[in-house]
């Protein structure tokens, strides 16, 4: 079995036993380890491969600065900066194949930065006492991070926490052995959508774009999918984006916990990636099934999608606000943007005669979009529904024209390296 090296990161002054247990399990499964200490005050029981002094120095600081600052948050940010830069450099040098970071809230804060510094395809595992917690905002999550709840792991080893730690050790080593890093032999198109029940364009567009020599990644725009999309857009990973499901923007402004972060629908534009945009499900706000509907949405029509997810229909004023917000975000773009606006509806339930059809609400959205569309954005109105063939034909014609004009670059064609760091 192929040998793989796992970078183990943690505060060895307080979690020495647990981190060494992780290392022992990885070695017992035939892997190798590289250890990084991100402690500030204490020292490990035996030297780590990368000391706390190495970590601080990589970020341009010293341990003495971290101590003398007199603030644990400042100290951990010094260590997070150094650990992130050091991990990124070590990975570029081929020193490790996957990373696992252990911690409570302090360690998790640092772990998110370390994992964000590594490219897509590098196995990234965070074993945390606050995994899956609302303490962790969407914008801090890397596109492909894995989190494991560290049950019974607050202080010292026990049979409960060993169950979590041993699984985590096996998971990161197995992932490092099995991973197929993303290739860049074809330029990548990033597309947002939902399931085929409500939005269907990807069924037509994906194979057509693949025939043109492009790879297409479709992101499920239910918070985490949009976060992954934005993370890759910020890295410049896409040749173009087809952002047809901006609902996460509405979720954000309406106070839903289902959010992709405050930077949703901005990173592609900032990275100079051309965008074709459409308003798929713009009129619905998703809430967790267990979440109390915020005051702004109470009394409005609710569609229960399943036990995890419910959708609230926006009012006229909320649709107008959504239109203005989309325009404000697209105005930041440093590359061409075309907003394809289907005048007959933005989701399957909103067709004439459909259960959530609201002709007045749609008209309010359209009029506000017309009034506030920035001059840098081309508004292309289409007398069709977003799920009609005419929408796909229009998008493909626009995309082909952009390719012919050189707006969509064949970036990454012929390369087989992983995505940008």
**CATH number reported for the structural domain that contains residue 51 in this entry:** 3.40.50.12020
136 and 114 share one domain:
yes
Domain that holds residue 117: 5-178
Angle at which helices 316-330 and 359-372 pack, to 10 degrees? 30
What pLDDT tens digit does each residue of the chain (421 aa) get?
578 999 999 999 999 999 999 999 999 999 999 999 999 999 998 899 999 999 999 999 999 999 988 888 899 999 999 999 999 999 999 999 999 999 999 999 999 999 999 988 899 999 998 988 878 887 788 888 999 998 887 778 898 989 999 999 999 999 999 998 877 789 999 999 998 889 999 999 999 999 999 999 999 998 889 988 998 999 899 999 999 999 999 999 988 888 888 999 999 999 999 999 999 999 998 887 777 777 777 777 776 777 778 888 899 999 999 999 999 999 999 999 999 999 999 999 888 888 888 999 999 999 999 999 999 999 999 999 999 999 999 999 999 999 999 999 864 443 332 333 3
- Residue 67 counted as domain residue: yes
- Rg (C-alpha) for the chain, rounded Å, is 24
161 and 262 share one domain:
no
Q: What does the block give as tokens for 419?
A: 């995505």
The total number of structural domains that make up the chain: 2
87 and 28 share one domain:
yes
126 and 231 share one domain:
no
Q: 315: number of CA atoms within 13 Å, CB side?
A: 8
- Residue 128 counted as domain residue: yes
Task: Kindly report the backbone phi and psi dihedral angles of residue 24, in degrees, each rounded to the nearest multiple of 5, phi listed first.
Answer: -65, -40
Minimal CA–CA distance to 338: which of 399, 275, 400?
275
Cα–Cα dist 256/287, whole Å? 6
Cα–Cα dist 172/174, whole Å? 5
Of 152, 178, 204, at which residue does a domain stop? 178
260 and 386 share one domain:
yes
Nearest 5 degrees, angle CA 328-CA 229-CA 76?
95
44 and 127 share one domain:
yes
Of 178, 212, 229, at which residue does a domain stop? 178
- Residue 415 counted as domain residue: no
- Provide CB contacts within 8 A for 112, sequence distance 6+: 126, 136, 140, 141, 142, 145
DSSP state of 50: B
21 and 86 share one domain:
yes
pTM of the model: 0.81
């Amino acid at each position: 079995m192929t040998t793989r090296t796992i970078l183990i990161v943690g505060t060895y002054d307080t979690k020495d036993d647990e981190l060494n247990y992780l290392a022992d399990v990885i070695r017992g499964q035939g892997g190798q380890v590289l250890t990084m200490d991100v402690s500030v005050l204490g020292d490990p029981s035996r030297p780590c491969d990368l000391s706390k002094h190495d970590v601080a120095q990589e970020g341009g600081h010293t341990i003495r600065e971290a101590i003398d600052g007199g603030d644990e948050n400042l100290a951990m940010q010094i260590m997070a900066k150094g650990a992130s830069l050091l991990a990124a450099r070590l990975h570029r040098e081929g020193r490790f194949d996957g990373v696992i970071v252990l911690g409570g809230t302090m360690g998790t804060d640092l772990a998110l930065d370390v994992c964000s510094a590594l490219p897509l395809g590098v196995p990234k595992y965070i074993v945390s006492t606050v995994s899956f917690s609302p303490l962790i905002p969407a914008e801090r999550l890397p596109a492909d991070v894995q989190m494991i709840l560290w049950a019974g792991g607050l202080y010292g080893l026990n049979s409960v926490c060993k169950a979590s730690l041993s699984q985590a050790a096996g998971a990161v080593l197995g992932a490092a052995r099995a991973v197929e890093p993303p290739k860049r032999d074809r330029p990548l198109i990033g597309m947002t959508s939902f399931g085929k029940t409500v939005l269907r364009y990807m069924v037509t567009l994906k194979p057509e774009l693949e025939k043109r020599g492009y790879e297409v990644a479709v992101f499920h725009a239910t918070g985490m999918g949009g976060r992954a999309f934005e993370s890759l857009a910020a890295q410049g990973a896409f040749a173009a984006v087809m952002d047809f499901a901006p609902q996460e923007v509405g979720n954000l402004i309406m106070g839903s916990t289902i959010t992709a972060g405050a930077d949703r629908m901005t990173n592609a534009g900032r990275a100079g990636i051309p965008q074709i945009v459409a308003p798929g499900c713009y009129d619905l706000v998703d809430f967790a099934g267990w979440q109390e509907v915020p005051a702004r949405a109470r009394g409005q029509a609710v569609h229960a999608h399943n036990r995890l997810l419910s959708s609230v229909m926006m009012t006229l004023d909320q649709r107008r606000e959504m239109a203005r917000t989309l325009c404000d975000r697209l105005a930041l773009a440093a590359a061409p943007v075309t907003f394809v606006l289907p005048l007959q509806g933005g989701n399957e339930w909103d067709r004439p005669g459909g259960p959530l059809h609201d002709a007045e609400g749609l008209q309010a959205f359209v009029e506000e979009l017309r009034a506030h569309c920035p001059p840098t954005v081309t508004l292309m109105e289409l007398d069709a529904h977003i799920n009609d063939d005419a929408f796909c034909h229009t998008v493909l014609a626009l995309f082909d024209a952009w390719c012919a004009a050189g707006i969509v670059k064949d970036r990454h064609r012929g390369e087989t390296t992983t995505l940008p760091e």
